[in-house]
Amino acid sequence: MTTATPLLPPADWRDFLALTKPRVMTLVVFTGLCGMLAAPVGIHPVIGFTAILCIALGAGAAGALNQWYEADIDAVMRRTQKRPLPAGRMDRQAALHFGVGLSVFSVILMGLAVNIAAAAILTVSILFYVLVYTVWLKRRTPQNIVIGGAAGAFPPLIGWAAATGQVALLPVLLFMLVFLWTPPHFWALALFVKTDYANAGVPMLPVVAGERATRVQIGLYTIPMAVAAIAPWPLGLTGPIYGVASIVLTGIFALLAVLVATRRQVEGDAMKPEKRLFSYSILYLFVIFGALVADRWVLA
């Protein structure tokens, strides 16, 4: 005997928007925009706008497919229980169709209106987030975000490729910066939502290797991240605005990471060091990418 699936009322547009993880994707789109604006050649504003739209749609589509696949995990974690699928506000099929349709649309539009290089990298990033991170690694290994996190590092490369049709050393360093930023960004958060992941059976580093090892890893990843962040100026790829901003911003990041690694609370700060580092990690990427564009445009 089969149990009948209760008919769900048609999902609201707000539920579809929630499927795209809009808050996280603002930073993804911003790094893509900055990658595009930092390129040495101009891009027609309409084509540039289309490229950013495609990054936003592709990233949102990937977020929707991620939620389609892991509705079971999301139902267990407090942070994610209210999402449209676990909360029962949307049919899984609708999420799947939305995610696949939007992915295909974003890639085809990028290929037709912008260029093939940008469309190809967009395809790789969607596949990376959905297949490599969500389906393959997330439930299997605490290295899930180290490898799968590469998905979120592609947008600066996509933006650059949209403007130039190719890749170069600077966007590769920007890729490395976001790639190496992701572990400290995420593990800082995982330290304070550890029980959620443990309950859902997701092998995030603090659950599997413990808190101490995670703190040490956060400190260790910060070292190559700092190299990728600061390298562009000495290599002659940017001017001093980015150079000085990257040194100051990365210095603060490193300091906060050391506080997390050594579990030291700053006197008078009510926030735990890992919470402080997580919040700062987001501000850090926004400002460092903003500085890159300021550098290009002010010094141009």
Ligand X SMILES: CC(C)=CCC/C(C)=C/CC/C(C)=C/COP(=O)(O)OP(=O)(O)O
Which residues sit at the interface with ligand HEM, rule CB under 6 A?
23-24, 27-28, 31, 133, 145, 148-149, 152, 178, 182, 185-186, 189, 282, 285
Around 283, how many Cα atoms within 13 Å sit in the side-chain half-sphere? Answer: 11
- Looking up tokens 């100051």 gives 248
H/E element, 13: helix 13-19
Chain contacts with ligand X (rule: CB under 6 A): 21, 24, 28, 55, 58-59, 62-63, 66, 80, 122, 125-126, 129, 138, 151-152, 154-155
- Minimum CB separation from ligand HEM for residue 76, in Å? 14
Among ligand X, ligand HEM, none, the one that 284 touches (CB under a kind-dependent 5 to 8 A) is: none
* Residue 106 vs 238, nearer CB to ligand X: 106
Rounded to an integer, what distance in angstroms lies between the CA atom of residue 68 and that of residue 70? 6
Mapping DSSP to helix (H, G, I), strand (E, B) and coil, where does residue 118 land? helix
CB of 300 to ligand X, least distance (A): 27
Which among ligand HEM, ligand X, none contacts residue 189 (Cβ within 5 to 8 A by kind)?
Answer: ligand HEM
Q: Which is nearer to ligand HEM, 20 or 31 (CB)?
A: 31
Question: With respect to ligand HEM, which residue has the nearer C-beta, 233 or 278?
Answer: 278
In 3D space, the residue among 114, 112, 110 whose CA is nearest the CA of residue 59 turns out to be 110
- What the block records as the tokens of 134 is 């969500």
CB under 5 to 8 A by kind: which of ligand HEM, ligand X, none does 31 bind? ligand HEM
Tokens representing residue 15 in the block: 């539920």
Q: In whole angstroms, how close is the CB of 17 to ligand X at the nearest point? A: 14
Shortest CA distance to 145 belongs to which of 87, 78, 221?
A: 221
Note whether 219 and 257 are within 8 A (CB): yes
Nearest residue to the partner ligand HEM, using Cβ: 152
Instruction: Return d(Cα 192, Cα 205) in angstroms, integer.
Output: 12
The values of phi and psi at residue 292, to 5°, are: -60, -45
Q: What is the Cβ-side half-sphere exposure of residue 159, based on CA atoms within 13 angstroms? A: 30
Q: How far is the CB of 278 from ligand X (least distance, A)?
A: 13
Residue 66 touches which of ligand X, ligand HEM, none (Cβ within 5-8 Å per kind) = ligand X
Nearer to ligand X, 24 or 266 (CB): 24
The listed partner (ligand HEM, ligand X, none) that binds 85, CB under 5 to 8 Å by sort, is none
